[in-house]
Structure formats: C-alpha cells, structure tokens
Structure 1
Amino acid sequence: MRVEAAFVPVVDQYPVVGPSTPGKPVNPIINRLLQVRQGLYEREAALIMATAASWSYSDVTTFADVMSRRGFGGGNAVSINLQNDALLVGTTAFLLQSADRRVVVLSFRGTEPRSAINWLGNINAKVEPFHAMGYVHGGFYRPLLALWPTLSPLLGAALRGMSLCDVSQRAMEKYRCRPTGADAAISGQVAEPDYDDECDSRAPMFSMAGASPAGEAPAAGEEDEPALYITGHSLGAALAVLAAARLYTVSILHQWHWKKLRGIYTFGQPMVGNQEFARRYERGFGHMLFRHIYKNDVVPRMPPLTAGNFRHIGEEYHATDQAWVYQSKLVSQARSFVGSTLTGVMASLMDQLAGIPILGRIPFPYSWEAHSPVNYLRVSQMSRATAGMYGG
C-alpha cells in the first residue's frame, strides 16, 4: 500500500463573483459544485469529473496540477495505490479536496493498458455476494475490498472538513516502526491506540484537530458541509459504483456521510452487479448515478451474457457531436466476450482507415477505440460549452 499526497498549485485565479470572507474567497467552480442538488445532472460537474477520471491514470503530482485548472488550486490531492499481483489486485484511488475543504472528489483509476493484472481481473467475472444485497463482479469487487481499509478513513476525515494533507501524513505514520511494550517504556515513548480502519464516526483512525468530540460530524450549518462527488473511467467507473454502494449500505456512514454525496459520474462503465443488486441499488442511488457512453464503446456492454446476467443502474447519457444526451433505454449486454472483443478490435482498425470510402462506412456494433478516456473528456468539454456555461 502506498499513500502519496500533493498540494494542488494555484495556477489560475478565478474571479470573485460574490462576497467573500478572509481565508474563504469565493470560487465560482467550487460554489457551483456545492449548489448542485442530489440527483441533479450538472454539465459543469460532468466536465470536472471527466477530467479527474481521465487524469487518474497519471501520478498524483500531475493529477493535482491538472485539477488546479478546474478550480481546485490551493487544495490537496492524495493517491492510494494497492498492488498484489498474486491476488490479481491492482488499483489506485485519488482523493481531491478544494482549498476551502468544502468539495471532495473521489476518483478511481481505470484499467491500465499495460497492466496484465487489471485485464485478468476484468475478465474474472465470477460473482461474489455484496452485503446480502445481490451479487457483483468479483474482479471489480476484490480491489475495492483491499483498498477500503486505507481509503475509508481518509475519505471520512475529508468529509469532516479535515486537511487531507495532514491526515495522509498520519496515515503513513502507522506504517513506521515504533517501540512497544517494554521497549516503549525504556525509550519513554507511548504506543498510539490502534483504531479501526473503517470510516466509523465512533472510533476515527485519525484524531486530528478539527474533528468534533467522538469523531462526530462538525456542528456546522448544512451549507458549510463538504460536498462529495465520486467518479471513474472503465474499471475506475465500476469501482466508483461499488464504493457508492458500500457507502450507502454501511448504516453508520448513511447517517451523516451519505447526504453529502451529490453525484456519481462514470465514463465507459461496465455493468457491476446482477439483477438483484441492480434492483436494490436503483432505488437507493440510481437517481444520482450518471453513466456516460461514447458511441459504440464496447465496455458498457460488458460483462457478456456468457458470464451471467448483469444489469446497469442509474441514468444513461450518450454522446452526440456536441453534447451528452439522456437516453431512457439502457444498453444491453454483449453476447460473448470473444465475439465482442474481436468486433471491437476490427472497429478500431477500421477507424484508422476511415479515409477509404468503402471501409469507412462499415458499421460495427462495438469498438475499443471508442473506450479511450480522451473521447469522454472531449465530449464533456463540448457539452459544457454548448450549454453556454462560464469558462474553466
């Protein structure tokens, strides 16, 4: 497990558009994210989440630099990387915090093209039970289970308004060797208590300044509470949905963390659960899950029917030449992995021959080239511009 933190540089200064107080300047981007209601699709938020999801394939320093241009200058970014090749587990999550700590973004890295472990996990579609709420894709769920004990307390601290930079330093402290027992007495040091890794308001792992007694949510007005967004592309999108489902399921988080979630924006997301999982969580947070699909991207049609009956949940948005457009009919599963993969590869090859009139007109139901995050980022940029919003 590797935890790394980076300060988000102040690259672009956004104009003040309203009254501000010392130490709390008004940032129109952050304010807009704060004003979004649960279940309301926001094109500006979609662009910011598409940017975070696309740049989650980079290192934390690059991620922080890019997100500074999206209004997060002066904030903090943390990456949590987990790799265990023998267990076919390899994933990375990013936590982004605005300068005023009022907006938190959780972004998961997707399938890395050169990672055999990611690919093997993706095709390992054997289902596993999810909190007695149905079954989910095991290759997606196992990485989240392994990452959660470290990710959860960091997320909980950020949602209490605590500095991610300070908290991440404390996170790394727990891996340092310390004298214990008799050795501690000899050296005059006292061993720190071992807190539960779960994001539990009764026993916070990080007892930092700024948290209320017993780790409860700060007694601030609702307008001052941090707003949470979750995002990801490809495998990262599947992890985003599973993370939201876990947050929704764990009752102690549901009490005061869940109301802070404004939306889950996914891009090129595969299906993650069976019909029972879809039925239960569609009622729970389907109205807050916004899935984006670029043209004939093959991944949203996966896993195939040969792997079992999987279903999408949430609202679906398809790409046009200029914007994301809501679609009432959800995409269905591909029939087989081999057939859809070969078709997707052929479509990608034909895209390179689009200048040849005959070849350029051959229709393909699936394409791997369409799955590239650059497609999702480009449409999100056009969609925001088409809506006539302010520049970012």
Structure 2
Amino acid sequence: MNFVTQYNCWNEAQRVNATQVFLATDKQEDARVIVVAFRGTETFNTFDWITDIDFSWHKLENLGRVHVGFLEALGLGSRNNQETFAELQRKLLEPPASRGPSISGMSGNIRSTKLLAHDVVTQKLKELTQTHKDAKIYITGHSLGGALACLYSALLYHSKESELADKIGGVYTFGQPRVGNDEFVNFYNEKLTQPVNRYFRVVYNDDLVPRIPFDDEVSGFKHAGICRYFNSFYTGQLLVEVPNKNYFSIFYYLPMTVSAIWELLYNTMILPFVHGDDYFETKTSTLFRILGVIFPGVGSHSPVNYVNSIRLGTSPKHLW
C-alpha cells in the first residue's frame, strides 16, 4: 500500500484531538483502491470507551436517530452546544455546490483552526478521486473506528456527495458498536446493501462492543446489514444478530467467562505453537485477555481476534 496521509482531528465535546484517520492507496499512480481507515477504541483511553458506551442520540432529518458521540467524533457537532446540530442539519440539506468546503456543524472559528474528521476526509477524497479516476473507496475501522466508518459512509449519501458515494467499493467494520435506530438502518441498507452488498460487519465471539448501545425498546439502536460472526474456534457464520445481542443477560455470564478463559489459553499458549511465531501476542494483548476473564466480553474485543478471524477463520456460509 501507498501511504497518503494521516489526520489527528478535533472533537469539540472532548476538547482534544481524539479522532485519528489515515488514507492509503494501492499504488502511487493510477490507483484502483483508496482506503480510509478510522482509528478504533484505544485500550486505555477513557474518552474512547465513554464514547462507545454512550446512549445519547440526535435525530437527523431523512436519516434517523444517530449516536451523538459518533457525530462528535466526526466533527459534526457538540452536545455542549445544541446549536451546532441545528446548523449541521441545515447544511446537510443544502446542495453540495452551495454549502462550501465544509458541512460541519461547528462555528466558523473552530472550522478554520481545528481539523474536523468529516471535512478533511471528504476534501481529501475529492482530490484523490480526481487524481485516481478509476479508484474505488474502501472505508474501514475497528470498534469506534468501525462506527465512524459506518456513519461516514451513510453521510456521504445523506449529504448527496454522490460522486464519492458512488465510488464506495466496500465498508468493512470489525467489532463495531451500533450507530443508529431502525430508520438509520433502513437508509443504510438501501444505500449500501442493495442491490449489491458493500457492507461487511465482522463480529468475534463475545465481543462486548458490538452489543452496545442496546437494541431494546428504551435505547432503540440497531445494526445494519448481516453479521459475519466468528466464534472462539474462528468458525464463521452469517447471522442476522449475534447471540446475547445486548450483553446484559445473566444466563450468558458463566458461558462467557468459560469462553474468556479458553481464549486466554488458546491464543497465548496453543495458537503460536500450531501456526507459528506470527501468532505470539504482546504483553498488552495478554493483559487484555486476562482482564476479559474478570469482565467477560472485553477480551474478545481485541483487534488480534479480528486479524486471526480473517487469517484463520472459515468462510461464513450459513444464515441463521
């Protein structure tokens, strides 16, 4: 891959550069692939975990209810200033030609002094697609990054950035939390799963994060598309929804604890000796797995599991 650039972007609600995204192409000239990768939840970053487990939402006209924390991470508003979301809604409904270089809901001074993820990525993609006219765009991320990949691709359609939206070759997310309600899901499925599916959501075993925010009558968050699910043996299945979809069932606690112990032993002791040195895990990864025994579902969220699922997993063949 040819590295293009990386951005450290501003989150007005958190008042830090909390959103990282990098872009790459398959080659330097005449590229056929443009990759947009959003950085996921950092293991010991409190802000990231708070964003993931947040249940706040904002209603966007013609799109549905959307997770506020993910809008903030893309630089599209701040819960500390509700006027930013009103401005965002107005700009989203304007034709792209009349809205200027940014659709951000932030005030002008913020827009000019801070990098906002939605704005800089969109502008850079316009430049790259002009240079590489035959290239397709692939948007990806793990955890928080997966949610941003999902939301960003939806916003390209919602804001009528049709030249970019039509170039999306695929959206690949790993351990992604839920982004919006059923209205958002219907919009997303219409744009990115029909008539040809371009949305691939991968979930590993008991991963906590894809099971939040909750899919219940109170929260109302839903997942779009079909899940590519891998169990702790890396056996793949196609599922409408994963087992224990809201994570809080007491009946799953004991099986998840047993599974977390098995993951710790299998991935740190057995896997490296079966498949080679490439599968030895770092001390941080091992510590994360130990933590997962105490808090079932946390260890399954490690990016290592998703790399292993792609490298070792059987192809999902069944839809349950």
The one-letter amino acid paired with 2:173 is T
2:302 maps to 372
Q: Measured at CA, do residues 343 and 308 of structure 1 come closer, stay the same or move farther in structure 2, by a change above 3 Å? A: farther
Consecutive unaligned residues in structure 2, runs of 5 or more: 77-115, 267-292
8, 18, 21: which one aligns with 1:93: 21
Amino acid at match of 1:233: H
Distance 2:255 2:4 in 1: 35
1:149 paired residue number? 119
TM superposition shift of 1:345: 9.1
Find the counterpart in structure 2 of residue 318 from structure 1: 229
Structure 1 residue 264 and structure 2 residue 194: aligned?
no
C-alpha change, 1:142 and 1:344, in structure 2 (3 Å) is farther
1:327 to 222, 239, 258: 239
Alpha-carbon contact 1:294-1:318 (below 8 Å) kept: yes
2:152, 2:310 → 1: CA distance?
23
Show the counterpart of 1:249.
158
Pair 1:366–1:283, CA change in 2 (3 A): farther
Q: Aligned partners of 2:8 and 2:261: how far apart in 1?
A: 36
CA distance in 1 between partners of 2:251 and 2:4 (Å): 37
Measure the CA separation in 1 of the matches of 2:217 and 2:248.
6
Compared CA separation, residues 348 and 131, structure 1 to 2 (3 A) = farther
Correspondent of 1:126 among 44, 52, 56: 56
Question: Which of residues 178, 185, 189 in structure 2 aligns to 1:282?
Answer: 189
Instruction: Specify whether residues 314 and 377 from structure 1 end up closer, same or farther in structure 2 by C-alpha distance, changes over 3 A only.
Output: same
Q: Quick check: 1:234 aligned with 2:143?
A: yes
2:9 aligned with 1:102: no
User: In the alignment, which of 308, 312, 330 is matched to residue 219 of structure 2?
Assistant: 308
Question: 2:7 — aligned with what?
Answer: 80
Structure 1: segments with no counterpart, 5+ residues: 1-71, 163-217, 219-224, 356-362, 388-392
Quote the Cα distance in structure 2 between the aligned partners of 1:244 and 1:312.
15
Q: Percent identity?
A: 30
| Shift in alpha-carbon separation, 1:86–1:281, aligned structure 2, 3 A | closer
Alignment of 1:1-392 (within 5 A): 72=1, 75-84=2-11, 87=14, 90-99=18-27, 100=29, 101-144=31-74, 145=76, 146-161=116-131, 225-251=134-160, 253-254=161-162, 256-286=163-193, 287-304=197-214, 305=216, 308-320=219-231, 321-322=233-234, 324-329=236-241, 333-334=245-246, 336=248, 350-351=261-262, 367-383=297-313
Greater shift, 308-317 or 256-265, is seen at: 256-265
Measured in 2, the distance between the counterparts of 1:106 and 1:341 equals 36
* d(CA) in 1 for partners of 2:252, 2:68: 20
Q: How far is 1:120 from its partner?
A: 2.2
Q: CA-atom RMSD, angstroms?
A: 3.5
Is the CA contact (8 Å cut-off) linking 2:54 and 2:213 kept in structure 1? no
| TM-superposed deviation, 1:241 | 0.3
**d(CA) in 1 for partners of 2:20, 2:228:** 26
Q: Which amino acid aligns with 1:268?
A: G
Query: Match of 1:139, SS?
Result: helix
CA contact (8 A) 1:247 1:258 kept: yes
Using structure 1 for the length normalisation, give the TM-score: 0.54
Query: Structure 1 residue 303: deviation in Å?
Result: 0.8
Aligned to 1:5: none
Q: Counterpart of 2:129 in structure 1: which amino acid?
A: L
Quote the offset at 1:366 in angstroms.
5.3
**Cα distance between partner residues in 1 of 2:263 and 2:57:** 37
Structure-2 change in CA distance of 1:302 and 1:347 (3 Å) = farther
Contact 2:12 2:72 in 1 (8 A): no
